[in-house]
Amino acid sequence: MLQHTESALVSALGEIDARAAVTFLGADRIEVLRFRDPDAPLVRYATLGMSASPMTDPTAAVADPLRGPRAELLLTVHAGHPATDRVLRPLAVLAAAPQVEGLVVRPDACLDLGEPLWPGAPFSAVLVAESGGLVPDLPLPGPCDPVRFFPLLPMTPAETAWQRARGPEALRAAWLAHGTDLRDPDRSAVPLSG
């Protein structure tokens, strides 16, 4: 199945520029793939391996090996910032969270690493966006749920706290109102008020 997932990523994002694998105790291997956009100065990172098993609610009595949401994570940043390549392990940590912590990743979820996404990054958390835009959902044979490819929107600590208090919709509205470039690896927090 991961072969189909990788093919879906390549079809949507182009050829893989680099890849790295990370293995955590008690979790399957997670790869992070890097893609360079030939038409724009962007670099995209995608996890591969998170979707191998469905995410299971930790309160469920029995984990269904087939049914349940499946996902991979996507992060897009402007190219040219060498430190962003150090995001590979943090992305793998987020992708392993469903197996390690029983987390079910959904749109509007806040995933907080508690440390910078890469050295010197002003972000330590991400907001999960809706799937289907950059990489279409990948249907799987029934009864499996499709693989959804969730874009991650980096948040500063102030934005993370504000989002928790006001909700993700309010943060997205603030980003939109200020024309925030969410792909800028050096951006500062959006002005927050109210």
The residue extents of the domains of the chain are: 2-177
Q: What is the pLDDT of residue 112?
A: 95
User: DSSP 3-state assignment of 134?
Assistant: coil
Residues in the chain: 194
Q: What is the pLDDT of residue 91?
A: 96
pLDDT truncated to tens, each residue of the chain (194 aa)? 899 999 999 999 999 999 999 888 777 899 999 999 888 899 999 999 999 999 987 666 667 778 889 999 999 999 999 899 999 999 999 999 998 888 999 999 999 999 999 999 999 999 999 999 999 999 999 899 999 999 999 999 999 999 999 999 999 999 999 999 999 999 999 998 75
Q: What is the pLDDT of residue 40?
A: 86
| Angstrom distance (rounded) from CA 157 to CA 189 | 8
Q: What is the pLDDT of residue 66?
A: 81
Residue type, 147: V
Q: What is the pLDDT of residue 58?
A: 65
Residue 5 CB burial class (10 angstroms; 0-12, 13-18, ≥19) = buried
Residues with Cβ < 8 Å from 2, sequence gap 6 or more? 48, 49, 51, 52
Q: What is the pLDDT of residue 59?
A: 65
Confidence (pTM): 0.94
| Angstrom distance (rounded) from CA 192 to CA 19 | 37
The one-character DSSP state at 173 is: H
Rounded to the nearest 5 degrees, what angle is found at the Cα of 16, between the Cα atoms of 11 and 22? 115
Residue type, 7: S
Orientation of helix 157-166 relative to helix 168-177, angle to 10°? 130
- The residues facing 149 across adjacent strands are 72
Residue type, 188: S
